[in-house]
Amino acid sequence: METSTETEHVVFVTEDGVPTGETGPKLASHHAETRLHLAFSCYVLRRSDQALLITQRAEHKKVWPGVWTNSVCGHPAPQEPMEDAVRRRAAYELGLPAIEDLECVLPKYRYRTPPYQGIVENEFCPVFVAWSEQEPEPNPEEVGDWRWISWSDYAQLLGDPEANVSYWARDQFAQLSDRKPFTGL
């Protein structure tokens, strides 16, 4: 069951992504000096036309509101297996309870954002790919808009310096472009 962001906790990790045994409240843990913590990103693809689901974060979100990004991102709860966290957030944010063939494609991805409204993301963030033929039914608390687009259109969006896209989406793109299944899109 999904918890509110007020009670959700992040898992702090070492530089190698190993949990330290410490956790912190999600919102209170994101600030100008955010400690390295565990997160994930997931790219949901549609087999029928090889399209990628991108989402726009809801405008009222406290962190990175209104930016376009990959399909779903989140944080595993303490002791929660990463794959379970990805499925939980896909169901909660996107209304996609049955993503298929979940695979980690960048197991050691890590990033730190420049400050955004006083908040820095500092995450050890494995990147996943999954598949779904289902149309999303997004949670408006999380997602402001969404669309299916081709990988080449996604590349154009990320290449536009004026586009309102997330830091991590731009950063992950270069590493994903030469990996399966993205090489075939």
Sign of the torsion formed by the C-alpha atoms of 63, 65, 68 and 71: positive
37 is in an annotated binding site: yes
* Structure tokens belonging to residue 109: 């991805």
Is 73 a residue of the active site? yes
Active-site residue, selected from the candidate residues 42, 73, 125, 142 = 73
31 is in an annotated binding site: no
Beta strands in 35-131 (DSSP E): 37-38, 40-46, 51-57, 68-69, 72-74, 100-106, 110-112, 122-124, 127-131
162 is in an annotated binding site: no
93 is in an annotated binding site: yes
Is 141 a residue of the active site? no
Active-site residue, selected from the candidate residues 2, 104, 123, 135 = 123
Reduced to 3 states (helix: H, G, I; strand: E, B; else coil), residue 92 is helix
30 is in an annotated binding site: yes
Sign of the torsion formed by the C-alpha atoms of 49, 53, 54 and 60: positive
123 is in an annotated binding site: yes
- Between CA 57 and CA 100 the distance in angstroms is 23
In the annotated binding site for Mg(2+), the residues are: 93
In the annotated binding site, the residues are: 30, 37, 75, 93, 121, 123
Active-site residue set: 73, 123
